[in-house]
Structure 1
């Protein structure tokens, strides 16, 4: 496994990370032992940049990682641990809005530290922006956590250019975590140039299009009842087969390259910049090993151009989130 730098403050992480959300929430049934096995395989594969959030479960994903570190205390220093705050959920999982108030930042961090069973968080993100609170106030409270030794580096998730610029005046932002993949390239026009200008690395969530770009999902019936993706516009009855045809072309190119579609999609991200890191989520040891193998895929300029032509943004059917959720993105 290779490593990459996020931001200009010295945050070095594995070139492929691990999104832990699906181990506890959103994507159907989950088995704790399978997840723990996958975390152990991540250590073996060098996939040591782990991503969670207090809303996953809610809270249960952080607790899962906390149990892992209790069982394997020596692995804590191996892992670069990232978590997030700011999206409010009830114990039943209902979404209650966002909260960026300074006093809440401190409370949320302390609660995450307790659930994770760690002394510090390596990378702490504001999960969604709170329009009612100036970003300077929120990031100022996050900077206080750095001074207290509770957090090492700061990040924002789904922040827009103006927010990134204002936040960076208060404290260096090491990473922006936003959706970015072959079929989600909305960042390219303005946000990614701003990241480069400000010295902010990109952490790409859903780099495999929530599993669609792997080619493993062939019908909507492959998703369990209650899987959040059934309500996602790109997985809808109206758009599914159109998007599947594009993925089939990616699978053909991957086959010619002697790699999997997932590896090709991850390699495409890695080739965009030395400061972009995808964090594909999985509960499977096999998939984790497959994803880690993407660091060895070399793509020529001609091959990158071919991929871009196959699955250019204007060819994708459907938005990346339902309409109600889109209003909270890139603020």
Structure 2
């Protein structure tokens, strides 16, 4: 009887251990996250230095998917193919208005600050294009049609007497190949972002035509948004994710030397190019806790509404009462 009882005790213990493992696996939520280039240092840290984030892989898992820009990620969020993703204010709002997307803004990546870097359109040094008005009839590259940069881009064209829909030919050119597209003559002007702008400037032969800051100062360029239904269903996993976004931003700002390595690994950009701007005064601005600047976003939404690009929207519809950076 003692032997039989011992066997049953051991068997019961084994079953309990298996069931505990199953429960743990079931409890570990996978978050499908979209990302892009550039300026997502907190995510790059999470991807390249996962050991620095104890909750990652334990309390939740991430499936990372790279996209060319924010607009395709908006479509993926609306279709339920992503749970969280990098977004621009305009692309996220278009998803809400046109795609029925409901989402929370849980963190912020970068914004334009006075004296810092502003996304700009460049032409070749010998180009006859001297002003924005000279772009009429020309082919212009933009990272993603309908993405975050197109709002202020359209505004600048309109201020200079051009109809963005009819007076120029707009084509999609990813930031990584924008310099080549311009130098090879495939476009007459193209948008420049870091680190590709720094690389092109070092080579010479191009010049800045206009920057987005001329239309909309202090732009919140990219933020982190998660589908509302996913957050409501998985609050603990999303909270852990936002904590890691917060921690990632702090690590990026606290250790520039390591951040240069992380970004170089992720973007395949040489450290000397990154060194010329990354986390310096001529770079984007970053909130130390990755906190979303809802007030600045509301100003952007108001401008979009005034120019007819969006209906009137209240940014607070995107704010979760508790799950928003910074989270410790």
> Normalising to structure 2: TM-score of the pair?
0.26
Structure with greater contact order relative to length (CA < 8 Å, sep ≥ 6): 2
> Normalising to structure 1: TM-score of the pair?
0.25
Structure with greater Cα Rg: 2
